[in-house]
Structure 1
Amino acid sequence: MKNPIFEIYVNGELVTTAGITVEFGVLSMITTWVRRQKLNDESLSLTVSGLNSIDNTMLDWYGAGLTIGDEIRIKITDESEITIPKIKEGWSNIDERILADKLKQFHRLKEELKDHI
């Protein structure tokens, strides 16, 4: 099976064509609505991104705000030409960041559970 390619349309207009060109990876399209009371803000957005799992490179094809009434369509294909993604900086050391997060959680739990060990 070929890797899927996402053709993303917003209000009938093709905004990007996203796909992973290596054997292993992640491809996602996320719509997000957020309203926060403490910050008194609200947002509605669309993000198309992915991960090249071979070299842990985060990829970014599209990100934009949406409004009520917008229509989003995704066509999944394996024959479109892929838009060249932007590479998100700071993700090349993802293994180190995962380890640091795990160590941070370990030390927090160690302190929290010290009376039960």
Structure 2
Amino acid sequence: MEIANNSKRTLAAFGWGALFIWWGVSFIYDPITIGLCAAGSGVILLGVNITRLLMGIPANRSTHDWGVIALVWGTLDHFLKPTFEQSFAMLFIVLGAVIVSTMLARKVLDRSQGSSEL
């Protein structure tokens, strides 16, 4: 159990360190847009969760959700090049879509697990 806790702390520290480095590079290097910064942050968050799974540690649900939100919103923001207001509205749409799809996926999973026990 202590090994798992140490691994969790190490991965969390690595994730935060990678995020701060990425954010610093994103703000210093001008061609990197806010969309690319968000998408890169999403990749880092999802990468930490994939590493957790490969190490046998359960994935963090909130990190997964925020990673998906950042990746989708950042990608849309970079390629569609919206105004600030449109980008903010897009963030709300992506946030709502992730919340609803996560809720629906959990219901389907719960239903399928319940039917296998009958």
TM-score by length of 2: 0.32
TM-score by length of 1: 0.32
Higher strand share goes to which structure? 1
Greater relative contact order structure (CA < 8 Å, 6+ sep): 1
The structure having more radius of gyration, on CA atoms, is 1
